[in-house]
Amino acid sequence: MLYALLAAPLLAALLTVFASGKDSESSFRIGFVLSLAIAVFGSALVLCNAGQPVSVPWFTMWGTSATVHFSLGANGLSAWLIQLVTWLTPVALLGSRGLVGGRMREFAVAILAMEGLMIGSLLARDLVVFYVFYEAMLVPMVVLICVYGGAERRSAALWFFLYTMLGSVFMLVGIWWLADKTGKTDIADVIAALPALRQDGTLGPYADKLLFLAFVLAFAVKVPLVPLHSWQARTYAETPAGGAVMLAGAMAKIGIYGFLVFVLPMFPAQCAQYAMVFIVLGLIGVVGGALAALAQDDIKRMLAYSSLSHLGLVMVGIFSFHQAALAGVPVQMIAHGLSVAALFLLVGYLEGRTANRGIDDFGGLAGRTPLLAVLFVVAALASAALPGTGNFVGEFLLLFGTYAGAGATVAVVAGLAVILGVVYLLRVIQRWFYGQRHPSLDRLADLGAGEALAVIPLLLASFALGFYPKPITAQTGPVLEELVKSARAANDTLHGLKLADAPRAPAPAAAAPAGTPAVAAPAP
C-alpha cells in the first residue's frame, strides 16, 4: 500500500510524459485525473489506518554495519500531512490550467514528481531514505521556478536551491556519524540507541550539540525559522501560483514535521535547554513577519512574510511543549496550507490576467470581478483566523498552549500576530477591491468555473476543519504526545517541576482512538 502510494505520483508523471505528447489539454486531463485518483487512494491512510510499515533492505553502508532499509510507514501525523500534499496536487494543477498555457506537460510532470517525493519524505522511516526524498524534492521545484517563474526566477531558483541544500548537508554528515556509531539508520532504532551513546561517552556534550545544530539547521531553513528565512520571500515571489501552492502549502510543513519527528525525540535535553531560544526566534518571526508583510507592495512577498509569521507561531507552540499547543500544531499546519494555497491561487489568477501583482496595481475590483473578490475576502479572513475556520482552531489552541506552557508574555506577543494578520490582509482587500478602479482594469474577466472550482474546495475544507477538527487532533494527538514526551520531561526537569505537576490543559486529543502506530518510542 505505501509503496504503491509512493510510486503512484511518479508513475503518473511518467505516464503524463509519454501519453500526452505536445497537447497541453490532454496533459492536464491525465495529470488531474491521476492526481485525484491518488488523493482518493491516499485518503485510505486516515480513513482506515492503512499505513502498515513496510521495509526492504537497500544497501549496507561501506565501513559501518548499518544496513539502510527502504522502509516506509505512516502514523496519524504523516497521514494527515500526506492528505494535504495529495489533495493540494490536483488543486495546483486545476488552478494553473490557464496560467502555464501551452507548457502544461512539463508543469504537470514537475508537480506530480514533487508530490511523489514529498509523500516519500513523509512516509520514510529511515534517516537515509528521508534525506534522499527531502533533498530530491528541490529539483522539480527548481525546474518549476525556472520555467514558469517571474522576472527574477534565475537567481531565485539558484538561491532557493543552494540555501536549502547548504542547510541540510550538515544533517547528512550527522546521519553518517549516527549510522557509524549506532550501526543503524532506522529512525526509531537511532532514537532508541542515542541515550546509550550519551551514557557511554561516545556522544560527548560538544558533539551532541553539533549534531543537534546540524539537524536543527536542516529543518529551520525549510520552515523557515527567523535568521534563515531570507530565501523565502524571494522564492515565493518568483514561484508560479501552482508551484507556490505546493511550496508554501505543503513543502514548508515538512520542515516542521522534521522538527517534530527528528529533533524533539532525538535531542530532548537540548530542546528543553534551548526551548527559549526557539520561542524567541519564533516570536521574532511571528511579529517581524507580520510587520514585514505590512510593508510589502508585492502581494506574493506579503504572503511569504505572512507564512513566516504563521509558521513562527507553530514553532513557538511546539517549543512550549504544552499539550494544547501540540494539538494545535497539525491543525494549524493543514489550515494554513489550505488558506495560503487559496490565496496564492487567487493572486496567480490576477497575475495571469494582468502581469501585475503589486498592492497598488489594482483598485475597485469588487464591481468588476465579484467572484474573485468574494473568494479572496473569504480566503484572507481564513488566513487571518476568522472563527469558524481551521486557522482559528489552530491558532487558538497554539496560543492557549503557549500561554499555559510558556507564559503570558509569550502568548500576548504571539497574539499580536493575529491582529497584525488582520491588518495587512484588510489593507490588500481595501486597496484591491474597493476604491477607484483604473480604466485599464475595466475589461478584466472574472474567474472561470475551473478557476473557482480549484479554490472553493480549499475554503470549504478550511471551514469544515474549523467546525470539526476532531479527526485531525484525534489521530495526531497520540503520535505527537509520544514524540514530545521525552523533550517535555527534560523541560520539566530543567525547570524543577515534577512531571505530575506540570500544567496540563484538557486537550481535545484526550479521548483518542487507538490504532495509530507510534513512530518513536524511546527505549524503556
Partner 1 sequence: MPPADLFPLLAPLSLVIAGALVVLGFEPFLQRSAKHALLPWLAALFLVGAGLVQVYAPTGHLHGLLAMDNARAWLCASIIGATLCAIAGLQQTLSRDDYPGGEAYALTLFGAAGALLMVMANDTLALFLGIELASLSVYALVGLRRNRAESNEGLFKYFVMGAVFSAIYLYGAALTYGATGGTGFGRAVIGQHDQLFLFGQVLMMIGLLFKVGAVPFHFWTADAYTGAPIAVTGFMGAVIKVGGFAAIGALWLAMAAVKSGFKVEAPLNLGDAVTLTEAGKSALATFNLVFLVLGLLSLVLGNFSALKQTSARRIVAFSAVAQSGYMLLALALPTVGDQLGLGPLWFFLVAYAIGTAGSLTAFAAIAGPDDAGDSLAGLAGQGRVQPFYGFMLTIFLISIAGVPATAGFVGKFLVFADLVAKDKVMIAVFAMLMAVVGAAYYIRMVVTLWSAPVKEPVRTGSTALTTWSLAAAAIAVVALIGWPGALVKPRQMAAVAHPAAPVAVAADAAAQPAVPVDHVAAAP
Binding site for partner 1 (CB under 8 A): 58-65, 103, 106, 128, 131-133, 135-136, 138-139, 142-143, 146-147, 149, 153-154, 157-158, 161-162, 165-166, 169-170, 172-173, 176-177, 179-180
Q: Which is nearer to partner 1, 166 or 460 (CB)?
A: 166
Q: Which is nearer to partner 1, 134 or 424 (CB)?
A: 134
Residue type, 360: D
* Residue whose C-alpha is closest to residue 446's, from 349, 359, 351: 349
Q: Which is nearer to partner 1, 164 or 332 (CB)?
A: 164
Name the minimum Å distance from CB 503 to partner 1.
41
The answer for residues whose C-beta is within 8 angstroms of residue 50's C-beta and 6 or more apart is 1, 44, 74
Name the minimum Å distance from CB 96 to partner 1.
17
Name the minimum Å distance from CB 151 to partner 1.
10
Q: Which is nearer to partner 1, 179 or 252 (CB)?
A: 179
Q: Which is nearer to partner 1, 193 or 393 (CB)?
A: 193
The answer for residues whose C-beta is within 8 angstroms of residue 87's C-beta and 6 or more apart is 39, 457, 461
Name the minimum Å distance from CB 103 to partner 1.
8
Name the minimum Å distance from CB 222 to partner 1.
15
State the DSSP code for 321. T
- Count of beta carbons in the 10 Å neighbourhood of residue 101: 12
Name the minimum Å distance from CB 106 to partner 1.
7
* Residue whose C-alpha is closest to residue 203's, from 219, 180, 172: 180
Q: Are 125 and 56 in contact (CB under 8 A)?
A: no
Name the minimum Å distance from CB 524 to partner 1.
30
Q: If DSSP codes are grouped into helix, strand and coil, which group holds residue 134? A: helix
Q: Ramachandran region of residue 63, left (φ > 0), alpha (ψ -120 to 50) or beta?
A: left
Report d(CA 86, CA 78) in Å as an integer: 12
Name the minimum Å distance from CB 273 to partner 1.
23
Q: Which is nearer to partner 1, 123 or 271 (CB)?
A: 123
- Residue 71 phi, psi dihedral angles, 5° rounding: -110, 135
3-state helix, strand, coil in the chain (%, to 5): 75, 5, 20
Q: Which is nearer to partner 1, 44 or 169 (CB)?
A: 169
Name the minimum Å distance from CB 228 to partner 1.
15
Report d(CA 335, CA 178) in Å as an integer: 35
Q: Which is nearer to partner 1, 39 or 241 (CB)?
A: 241
The answer for residues whose C-beta is within 8 angstroms of residue 517's C-beta and 6 or more apart is 51, 53, 73, 75
- Count of beta carbons in the 10 Å neighbourhood of residue 71: 21
Name the minimum Å distance from CB 60 to partner 1.
4
Report d(CA 424, CA 81) in Å as an integer: 28
Q: Which is nearer to partner 1, 28 or 321 (CB)?
A: 28
Q: Angle 370-383/323-354 helices, nearest 10 degrees?
A: 150
Q: Which is nearer to partner 1, 201 or 506 (CB)?
A: 201
Report d(CA 224, CA 393) in Å as an integer: 22
Name the minimum Å distance from CB 455 to partner 1.
28
Residue type, 201: G
- H or E stretch including 245? helix 241-246
Q: Which is nearer to partner 1, 133 or 321 (CB)?
A: 133
Show the CA angle centred on residue 420, arms to residues 419 and 426, nearest 5°. Answer: 95
Name the minimum Å distance from CB 318 to partner 1.
27
Report d(CA 424, CA 291) in Å as an integer: 8
Q: Which is nearer to partner 1, 61 or 377 (CB)?
A: 61
